[in-house]
Amino acid sequence: MLKGRHLIGSEDFTIRELEEIFKLADEIIEDQDSFLDSCHGKILGTLFYEPSTRTRLSFESAMLRLGGNVIGFSEAASSSVKKGESIPDTVRTVGSYADIIAMRHPKEGAPRLASFYSPVPIINAGDGGHQHPTQTLTDLLTIRNTKGQFSNLTIGLCGDLKFGRTVHSLIKALSKYENNSFVLISPQELKIPDYIKSDVLDKNNIKYIEVERLEDVMSSLDILYMTRVQKERFFNEADYIRLKDSYILDSKKMDLARKDLTVLHPLPRVNEISYEVDTDPRACYFQQVKFGMYVRMALMLKLLGVR
């Protein structure tokens, strides 16, 4: 069903198609050795126009563990982009060498533009403050394994909700499932964009509240999704310095939470989660990293149409 498709936004796949990917990811987790040569002879092209650690290495390790190879660049300055090459020309060129492309770009909409010209599937690995659908697949697989369901959940999203592309993608994805509600926790300056509220939450009659104090809502949450305040999205450093310490999750706040809370974070963190929380069994963000590799393995197998 997914062979040859692009993944640009978290809304691109139906619930049924997502379930296909998650079931395959579960098979990979159960018996990774069975998939060692699944992508033998296949090449992943990684076009990363801005820095990345987890996402880029996750894609690369996923393809290598499937028996394939990787080509690409980790910064635009090391490619012909520095000479002025356009996105359409870059993807048409790399698409002549690779079977599938993972692309990260600071400009919103760049991967969608690339998909119009690419001869191979394009996977959006993050575009500015817009979306990050493979992080959403990672988040969903983690939720599936820790909560056992995608419905009837109260999800707290905390920190930079304005520029946080992972937050935008996750809201869109979880809005497909029944009886979920959202608690949006941020300072006024970093509130969720109006288009997310109007086009996703309000349009689908999904319950949500906006608050500024994390302590006031900890006890009501099934999932707490922490985010860092992103320095690279600010034009004014003074604003960043003023807001960067708005929320810090520590053991005292964890004492207010349910025993079965799941704490997620797309990483990297700066100081928004205290290191003392890492040993709490409810802290699942490093499990999340591992799930990210498995779900990208499953996604590429599906888009390439190979087992």
Kindly report the number of other CB atoms within 10 A of residue 15's CB atom. 11
Among 55, 90, 142, 227, the one annotated catalytic: 55
Residues 6+ apart with CB under 8 A from 48: 56, 72, 73, 74, 75, 103, 104, 125
Helical segments of 180-260, H only = 194-196, 237-243, 251-254
Beta bridge partners of 71: 45
Kindly report the number of other CB atoms within 10 A of residue 172's CB atom. 21
55 is catalytic: yes
Among 42, 56, 105, 132, the one annotated catalytic: 132
Among 54, 147, 233, 258, the one annotated catalytic: 54
- Per the annotation, binding residues for carbamoyl phosphate are 54-55, 104, 132, 135, 267-268
- Per the annotation, binding residues for L-aspartate are 83, 165, 228
Cβ pair 159, 290 in contact under 8 A: no
- Per the annotation, binding residues are 54-55, 83, 104, 132, 135, 165, 228, 267-268
Kindly report the number of other CB atoms within 10 A of residue 149's CB atom. 12
Spatial separation of the C-alpha atoms in residues 241 and 300, rounded to whole Å: 39
104 is catalytic: yes
83 is catalytic: yes
Cβ pair 249, 226 in contact under 8 A: yes
Residue 224, classed as helix, strand or coil, is strand
Spatial separation of the C-alpha atoms in residues 26 and 3, rounded to whole Å: 19
259 is catalytic: no
Q: In which residue are the tokens 């034009």 written? A: 235
> Of 138, 166, 133, 155, which Cα lies nearest the Cα of 263?
155
Among 6, 42, 65, 104, the one annotated catalytic: 104
Label residues 251-261 b or e (16+ Cβ within 10 Å = b).
eebbeebeeeb
269 is catalytic: no
Please report, in angstroms and rounded to a whole number, the separation of the first and last CA atoms in the chain. 13
Spatial separation of the C-alpha atoms in residues 232 and 234, rounded to whole Å: 6
Among 16, 83, 213, 259, the one annotated catalytic: 83
Active site members:
54-55, 83, 104, 132
